[in-house]
């Protein structure tokens, strides 16, 4: 980031999150741990949707790749936490590279459908491989297996700070990447692909790299989710989990660094509030999507940037 | 039962799937062809048709003591109409306001999907409810057998169908022919095709494009609902029953070529029959995996499908 | 001596038998031109002559049906558009294409970054280096006062200027401009003509233009296309005097008497009339 205000904002936000552990009641810090991991997922999605302008409807594939990559490695192969995390990242990156290469041969609506189809294939494969994945029911990863350097990752405090560390790494790295030449190129492609191409940018390769980056970050979130919350199930590979990051990013502000977190926090509490009233909390999700695309297409941080804070990265 | 009759039975079942699928997919193809938008909530219009059919026939039976035949006929008329109204409302309130922008429409229709689905959950409940068929006589089918060295026609046990199932196939054919006649031989159809060819030109000729769009969107929904009314005596109404038809319609429309109703029908027959045969002999999940991957690959390598125009913009 | 020590005779741009058919329509047929370094070459011709398709073939927006394109002696026919740009070609679109939601400075910066760095993931352009070059370029075209304006908020003439600035930022060996003066006011056109003359000292320019006075003042040499073929080529004076060109293109506009006759639907033209048939056989006839 070139702007000091940007740095201040990012570091300040992280400091606030550290403080939150000591200030907020346990219920909320438990939520926050989950929110932070999901916000990493949203941030990964944001790279491809917010910055590059590609609407993927199949990111659950990458989240699930990370989730099961780590989950199955620990559960069935007996790997330790770090190697399993490595496997998860590797698998997500590889799947992103392969499906991205194919999907990027299409554009617009076709791209949306192709990504959706790839993710559906992933979901169905998880069901088909029920012998190991236990399908919809899923499996629990024992607490004893989820320790890192002697730290029990299921312990609330350790879990919170583990989630925060992951979030901080992704948050700051992505902030640096989007301000770099590569990040600016993504925006250029989003804004006017043909012009970017005719300025000499290798548009296909850049998009492909963006998908790999996005998929790997999403996979990291999936792996962290399995690791910190000890559960992997087919729902995380379903269409719903491809739609959710879209919702979070749209609400928070696509193409901003703080948007993903804002959107995830907001939506999490909205759903939390709604599930107390009715079983059909997804109704609120649906209404939120419709209202967002009608009235607030830029999202919260996006509108903020446009009206008041143009330096917002 | 031997392989021969088993196969024929599978083909028969597949034909029913194909018939209903052809109607549903034709609705989706119409909307894409003329409005150029992908309606992700299309499966929910299907579901609405089934649920409303249950509602109509049950109310008529409970309140007026009407028999299943009367209930069914009423449902056949009311359910598609009511669903069309819901669709037109969605078009006025949302789609028109966002100018049928392809990306925003996808997001908005995802929201619509959740709203319709969850609203149904809240009112109809999570159980599956049956609807009685208006008539349902069993029909045994003949099969050539060798008896004493001679070929005779026997009636293997279990090899048969019902009159209602044959009716479904016939009804679908009739409706599709009606649709074809509407598109090719009426003024309304001409107006629709003109709007599809060139929206601005149509407007210049005084065609009320927004009204045509609303009408087409309603017609697409009505076709899906009609398909559902036909199949609900065989299947049962359930608030989640829109998912499979949505996926299958997508597959059909893409392979047949978005925007080509004729191609859609051919593809529906192909896919319906294949689905019928494959799920009888193989695992349904594996069949779906292959189908899903097939759609993605068709889009990647042959974007215009079998007959239609390319999906990319 | 030109760059890379090539003998000065190698043209910067050369096409041989370049042709493009779209389905049944032959948009460009067998066009061969050769543009030496520092020349300002204008490409003119009536609407539908294939000028934009031709430049599209040169820059790589379309693949040719036949023929080849050579840049500084090297065959680039098989290269993708972005690879050709990287070799040193700049291109402005017929309908202005800039990054409307980004400010003027960032528009030019995008061009600078790629040209300076080549987007090698290992190398990075230092922000100060980029800033300096952006300022230089904006100063040269006169847009420095509007550096913070969103490109989409600029007046049309300034948007076209911005696009030229983006091309300049690449310090190209070949600068292709598709109808650069279209939509410009008279004073802006004046400035453009001066800019072109100034630029030709450091680069080679290929210009598609409809504005004849501009063509006559800027061009060192003119190539005329008609219905996809190269009709004539020469100095401005030669072209002005060429009767085939006049009847195919200039004559219709200059004569001004009688209805405007579309060369494609002229009822008097014999179906066999072709540009090569001689000056008197052209459609429409000459006063």
**The pLDDT of residue C99:** 96
The yes-or-no verdict on residue B308 having pLDDT over 80 is no
pLDDT at B304: 67
Q: Do chains C and A touch (3 or more CB pairs under 8 A)?
A: yes
DSSP 8-state symbol, C102? S
pLDDT average, residue stretch A45-73? 96
Contacts of A303 (CB under 8 A, 6+ apart): A253, A296
Structure tokens at C138: 């904006």
Cβ atoms of A66 and A89 within 8 Å: the answer is yes
Are the beta carbons of B94 and A109 separated by less than 8 Å?
Answer: no
Structure confidence by residue, pLDDT tens digits, C229-278: 999 999 999 988 888 888 876 555 544 344 444 444 444 444 444 334 33
CA distances from B12 to A73, B8, B224, B276 (A): 45, 6, 21, 8
pLDDT score for B47: 96
Percent share of chain A, pLDDT over 70 = 99
Q: Is A227 on the interface with C (CB under 8 A)?
A: no
**Bigger pLDDT: A164 vs B183:** A164
Give me the pLDDT at residue C51, please. Answer: 92
| C-beta of residue A267 within 8 angstroms of C-beta of residue A288 | yes
Q: In sequence order, what E strands does A230-277 have?
A: 231-232
Asked if A55's CB is within 8 angstroms of B114's CB, the reply is: no
Residues in chain A within 8 Å Cβ distance of C91: 198
Inspect the interface and report whether the beta carbons of A294 and B285 lie closer than 8 Å: no
Q: Which of A104, A109, A112 should we substitute to test contact with B (largest number of B Cβ atoms within 10 Å)?
A: A109
Q: Do C114 and A201 count as a contact with CB atoms less than 8 A apart?
A: yes
At residue C207, the pLDDT reads: 93
Question: A199 in contact with C at a CB cutoff of 8 Å?
Answer: yes
Q: What is the pLDDT of residues C188-238, one digit of tens each?
A: 899 899 999 999 999 999 999 988 899 999 999 999 998 899 999 999 999
Taking CB atoms and an 8 Å cutoff, what residues of chain B touch A113? Answer: 38, 250, 254, 295-296, 299, 311
Question: A145 vs A63, A71, A131, B69, C172, CA distance in Å?
Answer: 21, 10, 21, 61, 60
Which partners does chain B have (≥3 C-beta pairs < 8 Å)?
Answer: A
Confidence tier at B43 by pLDDT (50, 70, 90): very high
More confident residue, C45 or A87: A87
Interchain contact, A194 vs C97, CB within 8 Å? yes
Q: Label residue C125 by pLDDT band (50, 70, 90).
A: low
- Among residues B165, B190, B215, B220, the alpha carbon closest in space to that of B42 is found at B220
Mind telling me how many Å the CA of A117 is from chain B's nearest CA? 6
Q: List chain A residues with CB under 8 Å of C131.
A: none
Tokens of A55: 């609407």
The predicted structure's pLDDT at residue B142: 80
CA atoms within 13 A on the CB side of A108: 13
Question: Does the structure show a pLDDT above 50 at A279?
Answer: yes
The answer to whether residue B52 scores a pLDDT higher than 50 is: yes
| A268-282, B103-117, C129-143, range with the lowest pLDDT | A268-282
- Residue B37, min C-alpha distance to chain A (Å): 9
Nearest CB among A112, A127, A289 relative to B108 is that of A289
CB distance from A191 to chain C under 8 Å?
Answer: yes
DSSP state of C173: S
Mean predicted confidence (pLDDT) in B274-293: 78
Question: What's the rounded mean pLDDT across residues A39-48?
Answer: 98
Which residues of chain A does B285 touch, with a Cβ-Cβ cutoff of 8 Å?
A: 124, 127-128
CB pairs under 8 A between A and C: 68
Q: Which residues of chain A does C94 touch, with a Cβ-Cβ cutoff of 8 Å?
A: none
Residue from C201, C133, C205, C211 nearest C174 by CA: C205
> ∠C243-C245-C250 over CA atoms, to 5°?
100
Question: Average pLDDT for residues B18-44, to the nearest whole number?
Answer: 91
> What is the token pair recorded at B54?
């249950």
**What pLDDT, on a 0 to 100 scale, did the predictor assign at position B225?**
97
Least confident of A50-64, A108-122, A189-203, C94-108: A108-122
- C281, pLDDT greater than 70: no
Q: Report CB contact under 8 Å: B295, A113.
A: yes
Say which residues have a Cβ less than 8 Å from residue A93's Cβ, sequence separation at least 6.
A212, A215, A216, A219
CA dist A75 to A133, A134, A138, Å? Answer: 10, 12, 12
B107 to A102: CB separation less than 8 angstroms, yes or no: no
CB contact under 8 A, A103 and B303: no
The predicted-structure confidence for B256-274, as pLDDT tens digits, reads as follows 775 567 788 888 888 888 7
- Which of A106, A120, A287 is nearest residue B303 as measured by Cβ atoms? A106
d(CA C172, CA C112): 11
3-state secondary structure of C35: strand
Q: What is the pLDDT of residue B309?
A: 54
DSSP annotation of C149: S
* pLDDT, greater one: B200 or C171: C171
B223 neighbors B179 (Cβ within 8 angstroms)? yes
Phi-psi group of A23: left, alpha or beta (phi > 0 → left; psi -120 to 50 → alpha; rest → beta): alpha
Please provide the DSSP assignment of C3-23 as one string. GGG--TTS-SEEEEEEEEEET
Q: CB–CB of B312 and A279 under 8 A?
A: no
Which tens digits make up the pLDDT trace of A198-209? 999 999 999 999
C166/A199 Cβ within 8 A: yes
Residue-level pLDDT at C15: 94
- Chain A residues within 8 angstroms (CB to CB) of chain B: 55, 57, 102-103, 105-110, 112-114, 117-118, 120-121, 124-125, 127-128, 243, 246, 250, 278-283, 285-294, 297
Residue of A nearest to C100 (CA): A191
Answer for the pair C49, C228: CB distance below 8 angstroms, yes or no. yes
**Which of A225-229, B136-140, B211-215, C245-249 is predicted with the least confidence, judged by mean pLDDT?**
C245-249
Phi, psi of B200 (to 5 degrees): -70, -40
**In this predicted model, which residue has the larger pLDDT, A212 or B34?**
A212
Distance from CA of A113 to the nearest CA of C (A): 27
**Nearest CB to A198 within list C85, C117, C125:** C85
Token pair of C231 as six digits: 């009709």
The two three-digit tokens of residue B284, written as one number: 């349904």
Backbone dihedral angles phi then psi of residue A235, each to the nearest 5 degrees: -55, -35
Neighbour subunits, C (≥3 Cβ pairs < 8 A) = A
With a cut of 90, say whether residue B62 has pLDDT above it.
Answer: no
Rounded-to-integer distance, Cα C146 and Cα C150, Å: 9
Tokens describing residue A17: 């999150």
Domains of chain C, CATH where assigned: 3-97+173-241 (3.40.50.300)
Q: What is the DSSP letter of A54?
A: -
The pTM is what?
Answer: 0.86
pLDDT tens digits, A287-305: 988 998 899 888 999 999 9
Inter-chain CB proximity A195 and C124 less than 8 Å: no
Question: What was the pLDDT predicted at C284?
Answer: 34
Q: Least CA distance to A184: which residue of chain C?
A: C110
Instruction: Name the minimum distance, in Å, from the CA of C138 to any CA of chain A.
Output: 17
Task: Assess whether pLDDT exceeds 60 at residue A189.
Answer: yes
Least confidently predicted of B153-162, B219-228, B240-249, C52-61? B153-162
| Chain B residues close to A128, C-beta within 8 Å | 283, 285-286, 289
Q: Is B309 on the interface with A (CB under 8 A)?
A: no
Residues near B186 by beta carbon (within 8 Å), at least 6 away in sequence: none
pLDDT score of C123: 57
Test A117 with B293 for CB contact under 8 angstroms.
Answer: yes
pLDDT at C287: 30
Which of A182, A187, A195 comes nearest C97 by C-beta?
A195
Among the partner residues A184, A197, A206, nearest to C113 by beta-carbon distance: A184
State how far residue B114 is from chain A, nearest Cα, in angstroms. Answer: 5
Residue C271 is predicted with a pLDDT of: 45
What's the rounded Cα separation, in Å, for the pair A225 and A64? 10
ipTM: 0.89
β-partners of residue C208 are C43, C178
């Amino acid at each position: 980031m070139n702007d000091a205000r940007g740095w201040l904002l990012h570091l300040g936000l992280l400091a606030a999150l550290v403080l939150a552990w000591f200030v907020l009641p346990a219920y909320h810090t438990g939520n926050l741990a989950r929110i932070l991991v999901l916000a990493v997922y949203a941030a990964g999605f944001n790279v491809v949707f917010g910055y590059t302008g590609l609407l993927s409807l199949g990111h659950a594939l990458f989240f699930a790749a990370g989730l099961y990559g780590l989950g199955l490695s620990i559960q069935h192969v007996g790997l330790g936490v770090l190697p399993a995390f490595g496997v998860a990242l590797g698998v997500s990156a590889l799947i992103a590279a392969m499906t991205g290469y194919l999907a990027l041969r299409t554009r617009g609506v076709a791209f949306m459908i192709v990504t959706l189809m790839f993710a559906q294939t992933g979901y169905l494969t998880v069901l088909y491989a029920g012998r190991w994945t236990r399908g919809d029911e899923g499996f629990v990863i024992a607490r004893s297996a989820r320790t890192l350097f002697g730290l029990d990752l299921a312990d609330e405090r350790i879990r919170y700070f583990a989630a925060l560390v992951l979030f901080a790494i992704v948050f700051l790295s992505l902030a640096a990447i989007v301000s770099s030449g590569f990040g600016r190129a993504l925006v250029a492609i989003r804004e006017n692909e043909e012009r970017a191409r005719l300025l000499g940018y290798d548009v296909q390769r850049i998009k492909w790299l963006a998908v790999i980056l996005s998929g790997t970050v999403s996979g990291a979130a999936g792996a962290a989710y399995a690791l910190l919350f000890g559960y992997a199930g087919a729902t995380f590979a379903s269409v719903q989990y491809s739609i959710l990051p879209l919702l979070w990013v749209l609400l928070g502000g696509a193409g901003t660094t703080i948007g993903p977190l804002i959107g995830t926090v907001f939506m999490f509490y909205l759903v939390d509030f709604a599930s107390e009233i009715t079983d059909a909390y997804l109704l609120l999700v649906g209404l939120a999507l419709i209202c967002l695309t009608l009235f607030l297409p830029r999202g919260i941080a996006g509108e903020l940037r446009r009206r008041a804070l143009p330096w917002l990265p | 039962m031997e392989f021969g009759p088993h196969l024929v039975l599978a083909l028969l079942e597949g034909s029913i799937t194909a018939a209903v699928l052809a109607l549903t997919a034709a609705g989706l193809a119409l909307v894409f062809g003329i409005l150029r938008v992908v309606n992700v909530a299309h499966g929910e219009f299907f579901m609405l048709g089934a649920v409303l059919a249950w509602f109509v026939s049950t109310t008529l039976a409970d309140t007026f003591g009407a028999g299943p035949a009367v209930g069914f006929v009423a449902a056949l008329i009311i359910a598609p109409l009511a669903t069309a109204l819901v669709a037109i409302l969605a078009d006025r309130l949302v789609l028109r306001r966002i100018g049928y922008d392809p990306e925003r429409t996808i997001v908005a229709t995802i929201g619509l999907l959740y709203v319709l689905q969850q609203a149904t959950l809240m009112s109809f409940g999570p159980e599956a409810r049956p609807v009685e068929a208006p008539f349902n006589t069993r029909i045994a089918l003949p099969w050539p057998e060798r008896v004493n060295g001679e070929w005779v026609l026997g009636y293997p046990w279990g090899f048969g169908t019902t009159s209602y199932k044959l009716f479904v196939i016939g009804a679908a054919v009739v409706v599709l022919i009606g649709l074809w006649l509407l598109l090719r031989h009426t003024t309304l159809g001409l107006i629709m095709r003109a709007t599809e060819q060139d929206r601005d030109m149509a407007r210049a000729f005084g065609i009320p494009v927004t009204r045509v769009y609303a009408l087409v969107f309603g017609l697409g929904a009505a076709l899906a609902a009609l398909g559902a009314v036909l199949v609900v005596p065989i299947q049962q109404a359930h608030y989640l029953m829109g998912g499979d038809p949505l996926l299958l319609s997508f597959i059909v429309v893409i392979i047949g070529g978005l925007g080509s109703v004729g191609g859609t029908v051919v593809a529906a027959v192909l896919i319906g029959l294949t689905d019928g045969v494959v799920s009888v002999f193989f695992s349904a999940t594996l069949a779906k995996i292959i189908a899903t991957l097939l759609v993605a690959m068709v889009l990647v390598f042959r974007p215009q499908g079998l007959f239609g125009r390319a999906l990319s913009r | 001596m030109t760059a890379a020590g090539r003998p000065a005779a190698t043209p910067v741009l050369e096409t041989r038998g370049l042709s493009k058919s779209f389905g049944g329509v032959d948009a460009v047929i067998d066009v061969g031109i050769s543009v030496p370094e520092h020349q300002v070459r204008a490409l003119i011709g009536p609407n539908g002559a294939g000028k934009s398709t031709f430049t599209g073939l040169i820059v790589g927006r379309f693949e040719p049906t036949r023929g080849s394109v050579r840049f500084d002696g090297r065959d680039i026919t098989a290269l993708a558009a972005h690879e050709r740009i990287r070799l040193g070609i700049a291109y402005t679109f017929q309908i202005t294409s800039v990054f409307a939601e980004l400010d003027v400075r960032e528009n030019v910066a995008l061009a600078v970054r790629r040209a300076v760095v080549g987007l090698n993931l290992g190398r990075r352009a230092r922000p100060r280096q980029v800033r300096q070059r952006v300022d230089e370029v904006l100063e040269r075209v006169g847009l420095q006062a509007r550096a913070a304006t969103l490109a989409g908020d600029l007046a049309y003439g300034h948007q076209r200027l911005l696009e030229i600035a983006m091309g300049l930022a690449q310090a190209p060996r070949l600068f292709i401009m598709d109808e650069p003066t279209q939509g410009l006011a008279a004073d802006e056109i004046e400035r453009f003509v001066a800019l072109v003359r100034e630029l030709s000292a450091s680069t080679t320019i290929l210009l598609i233009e409809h504005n004849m006075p501009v063509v006559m003042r800027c061009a060192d040499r003119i190539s005329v296309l008609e219905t996809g073929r190269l009709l004539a080529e020469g100095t401005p004076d030669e072209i002005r005097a060429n009767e085939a060109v006049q009847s195919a293109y200039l004559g219709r506009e200059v004569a001004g008497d009688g209805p405007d006759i579309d060369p494609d639907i002229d009822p008097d033209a014999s179906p066999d009339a072709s540009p090569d048939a001689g000056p008197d056989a052209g459609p429409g006839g000459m006063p």
